[in-house]
Amino acid sequence: MPRTLPIMLLAGALLASVAIPAAATATRPAQRGKPQAEAAPLVIAHRGASGYRPEHTLAAYQLAIRQGADYIEPDLVPTADGVLVARHENEISGTTDVADRAEFADRRTTKTIDGVSVTGWFTEDFTLAELRTLRALERLPQVRPTNTVFDGQFPVPTLQEIIDLARTESRRLGRTIGIYPETKHPTYFQSIGLPLEEPLVATLRRNRLTSRTDAVFIQSFETANLRKLSRMTDVRLVQLLNSSGRPYDFTVDGDPRTYADLATPAGLRWIAGYADGVGPNKDLIVPRDATGRLRTPTTLIRDAHRARLVVHAWTFRAENQFLPADHRIGTDPTARGDITAEYELFYGLGLDGVFADHPDTAVAARVGLP
C-alpha cells in the first residue's frame, strides 16, 4: 500500500477543483437545528483505521476507506507557518520519530496546554517543510504491537492531502467519503496567534466545501470556536462531550458548566443553537459500574434527538481493555473482545454514528439493520 499513495495523491491534485458531494448516509438538514435523518449509522474512521495502521497517516485513512468507512477523521493542529496537519496532539514525541532526530533536539520544550504542563516537541515550533521530514510512529505500541511494523514509513499529512485522498477515493469507488476534522486546543492556539478556524474554513472554501449538504462535519471539545465557526461556515458542526470535566473555554471564561451539564436536555437545547450534533463519550450513553460492567442506558440519545441533534459516539475499539466487561473475551487486555455485541447495543439504542478504530467491524455490525 505505501507504494500506491503517491499515485493517489497525484490523482487527488488533478481533481482539486471538484468538491466532495454529500454522502448517501449523511444528514441533510435545511438549516441548523432541523431534524436530521440518516439512512444508517455513520461509520467514522477514528484517526483512520487506527487499529491497523499508525493513526493520522494517509495509509490509515486509505485503509479505513477500503474497509467501508463513510467519514475519515483528522485531528487538526497547525505548523509554525499556519498549515493544518493531522496529529492527535500538537506534542508529537509519541506519534513521530522527532525524539530520535538530533537536528531537532533543541526544539524540546515545556508548555502549558489547556492548563496542563507538557514537555516535548510541538507542531507549532516546526515549519511544514521541517515537519514533513519526520515519520509517524504507532501511538499505542503496547496495545497494538503489530502496527509498529509500519513505524517510520509515513509522513505527517496535511488537511489538504486528506481532502485530496477522500475526493480521489470517492471517484474511484463511486461512493462519497466525507471528512470529519476536529479542532484541537482552539483556545490555546488562538492565544499564540495561530487560530484554527480561519485556515480551516479557508481550506474548505478552496475545495468548495461550504454547504450543509457537503460531506463534512467539524467537531470540537470546546464551544466558543464552534460558535464562531457557526458564523463562518454552513458545514455541520458537532459538539464533543466528555464523561467528565468541562470545555476549556468555559474554564477560561469562568463558566461553571461541565460536560455533564451540556448533556442534559437544557444543555442540549443550548448546543442546538449553534451545532447540528453531539459527539459524546459512549459512557454518557451506557454507563459502566465500578467493575466495568454495563449499567442501564441513559436518555441522552432520546434527549439529543428531541433537541434535533444527531449523536455520534466515541470511541469504539475492539481490544478487551477498551470494552465493557460484558463484552470481553478472555483475560488478555490486548486481545480482541466481542466488539460486535457493543455495536449492536448502541445501534439498537438509535445511535446515529460511531467513531471506530476498526472501521471494518463497525461496517459489518450494521449490515442488516432496518
Contacts of 236 (CB under 8 A, 6+ apart): 27, 29, 212, 216, 217, 218, 276, 277
pLDDT at 28 over 70: no
Sorting pLDDT into bands at 50, 70 and 90, what band is 9? very low
Alpha helices (runs of H) in 212-332, residue ranges in sequence order: 224-230, 248-253, 259-262, 265-271, 300-306
Q: How far apart are CA 69 and CA 74, in angstroms?
A: 14
Return the minimum-mean-pLDDT range out of 7-21, 93-107, 307-321. 7-21
Instruction: Give 223-263 pLDDT, tens digit per residue.
Output: 999 999 999 999 999 999 999 999 999 999 999 999 999 99
Domain spans, the chain:
2-89+154-365
Looking at residue 156, the DSSP 8-state letter turns out to be P
Which pLDDT belongs to residue 369? Answer: 81
**Domain range 2-89+154-365, CATH class:** alpha beta
Sorting pLDDT into bands at 50, 70 and 90, what band is 40? confident
Instruction: Give 77-130 pLDDT, tens digit per residue.
Output: 999 999 999 999 999 999 999 999 999 999 999 999 999 999 999 999 999 999
Residue in the structure block whose three cell numbers are 504542563: 117
Return the minimum-mean-pLDDT range out of 20-29, 165-174, 290-299. 20-29
pLDDT at 5 over 50: no
pLDDT at 20 over 80: no
Burial of 95 (0-12, 13-18, 19+ CB in 10 A): buried
As a whole number, mean pLDDT of residues 12-38 equals 41
As a whole number, mean pLDDT of residues 265-280 equals 98
Which pLDDT belongs to residue 370? Answer: 74
Sorting pLDDT into bands at 50, 70 and 90, what band is 39? low
Task: Respond yes or no on whether the N-terminal peptide bond of residue 315 is cis (omega within 30° of 0).
Answer: yes
- 0.85 exceeded by pTM: yes
Q: CA Rg, the chain, in Å? A: 20
Which pLDDT belongs to residue 32? Answer: 52
Tell me if 329 sits within 8 A of 336, measured CB to CB.
yes
